[in-house]
């Protein structure tokens, strides 16, 4: 059994409540049915069961065990809307604006349920853009002050691969911050290091990537990576981290032995931190397509409760994977 697949058993041992705001999408409905049937999580969906059944048509899915929440008639609806108003009133919105915004984008509704402790996390993005999902996480769910910035990561697993943890790695940030400053880059590194440890019980080895290895080139982006490295060492002295490292120096032991002897990370990194969004997004998509990797994400990092974005081109299994990882992350939050 591969490592991502094995997370389903881990999630089922301590079920957490995950809200799915996009009950208008058949992929989400099918994934909810699978996750509920396999007891990966306690699944709630925003929408009426009767409407979901109409969307299914002749398609037969087991919807038993799924909680359907009608947003208009939910007993705590007013609390959800008022919470959003209080969070955003400094930006000039009225109570009427708050209601309209929450109901026009139900991802906000789901995120606010997480903020208020009604659910343990949310998964969305099949029919919403990454910008919509990220705004809901930022405005409605809120940030973890220890991390201080919203970013994203991907869990990547490649068959028959000797790098990382036998082909298992975490990439960040590949979806949110276009050009992170050193403090943001440090937060991304710390959050991604925590993620691989929480999910897979392995020691994180975090590589801050660059086009340079240990001074082989000069430039502003290299200076940024070095500054981020120093911040990580200050904020998380327990974390194995190194930089600046080129991709081969981070992953290949033979290259690391030549370029950076004595590093605890070089040649054995399992967490790859990219210097900007161009590099991260391009690399994860190339890995997914060229290496035929199993990829889960974007997982939103730095939020007060776990949340996952989805590609609008996602398949059902990708949605189930996102639910699974969100549920396992929620187990850690509950401790």
Within the chain, which residues score under 50 in pLDDT? 1
Please report the pLDDT score of residue 335 as a whole number: 56
Q: Which tokens go with 247?
A: 């991709």
Q: How many helices (H) and strands (E) does the chain have?
A: 13, 11
Please report the pLDDT score of residue 1 as a whole number: 47
| CA 249 vs CA 15, 214, 291: distances in Å | 40, 10, 19
First to last CA, the chain: 27
Please report the pLDDT score of residue 215 as a whole number: 83
Task: Say which DSSP state 143 is in.
Answer: B
Measure the CA–CA gap between 230 and 227, rounded to whole angstroms: 5
As annotated, the residues of the chain forming the CATH 3.40.50.10950 domain(s) are: 3-142+304-333
- Provide the CATH number for the domain formed by 151-290 in this structure: 3.40.50.10750
Q: Which of 175, 173, 161, 156 is nearest to 293 (CA)?
A: 156
Please report the pLDDT score of residue 334 as a whole number: 59
Measure the CA–CA gap between 206 and 175, rounded to whole angstroms: 19
Average pLDDT of the chain?
92
> Domain 3-142+304-333 adopts which CATH fold?
Rossmann fold (3.40.50)
Please report the pLDDT score of residue 183 as a whole number: 93
As annotated, the residues of the chain forming the CATH 3.40.50.10750 domain(s) are: 151-290
Q: How confident is the model over 128-182, as pLDDT tens digits? A: 888 899 999 999 888 887 777 889 999 999 999 999 999 999 999 998 999 999 9
């Amino acid at each position: 059994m591969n490592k991502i697949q094995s997370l389903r058993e881990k999630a089922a041992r301590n079920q957490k409540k995950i809200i799915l705001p996009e009950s208008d999408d058949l992929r989400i409905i099918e994934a909810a049915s699978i996750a509920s049937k396999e007891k990966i999580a306690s699944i709630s969906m925003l929408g009426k069961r009767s409407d979901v059944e109409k969307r299914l048509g002749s398609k037969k899915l087991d919807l038993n065990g799924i909680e359907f929440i009608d947003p208009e008639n939910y007993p705590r609806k007013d609390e959800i809307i008022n919470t959003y108003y209080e969070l955003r009133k400094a930006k000039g919105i009225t109570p009427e604006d708050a209601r309209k915004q929450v109901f026009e984008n139900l991802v906000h509704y789901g995120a606010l349920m997480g903020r208020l402790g009604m659910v343990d996390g949310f998964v969305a993005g099949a029919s919403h853009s990454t910008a919509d999902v990220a705004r809901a996480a930022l405005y409605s769910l809120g940030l973890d002050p220890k991390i201080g910035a919203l970013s994203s990561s991907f869990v990547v697993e490649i068959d028959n691969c000797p790098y990382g943890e036998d082909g298992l790695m975490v990439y960040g940030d590949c979806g949110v911050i276009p050009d992170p400053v050193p403090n943001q880059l440090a937060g991304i590194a710390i959050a991604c290091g925590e993620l691989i440890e929480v999910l897979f019980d392995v020691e994180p080895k975090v590589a801050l990537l660059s086009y340079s290895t240990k001074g082989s080139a000069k430039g502003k982006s290299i200076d940024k990576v070095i500054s981020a490295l120093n911040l990580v060492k200050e904020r998380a002295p327990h974390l194995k981290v190194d930089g600046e490292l080129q991709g081969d120096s981070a992953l290949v032991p033979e290259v690391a032995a030549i370029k950076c002897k004595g590093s605890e990370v070089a040649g054995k990194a399992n967490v790859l931190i990219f210097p900007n969004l161009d590099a991260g997004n391009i690399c994860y998509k190339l890995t997914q397509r060229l290496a035929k990797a199993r990829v889960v994400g974007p997982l939103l990092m730095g939020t007060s409760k776990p949340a996952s974005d989805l590609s609008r081109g996602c398949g059902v299994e990708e949605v189930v994977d996102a639910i699974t990882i969100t549920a396992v992350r929620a187990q850690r939050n509950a401790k």
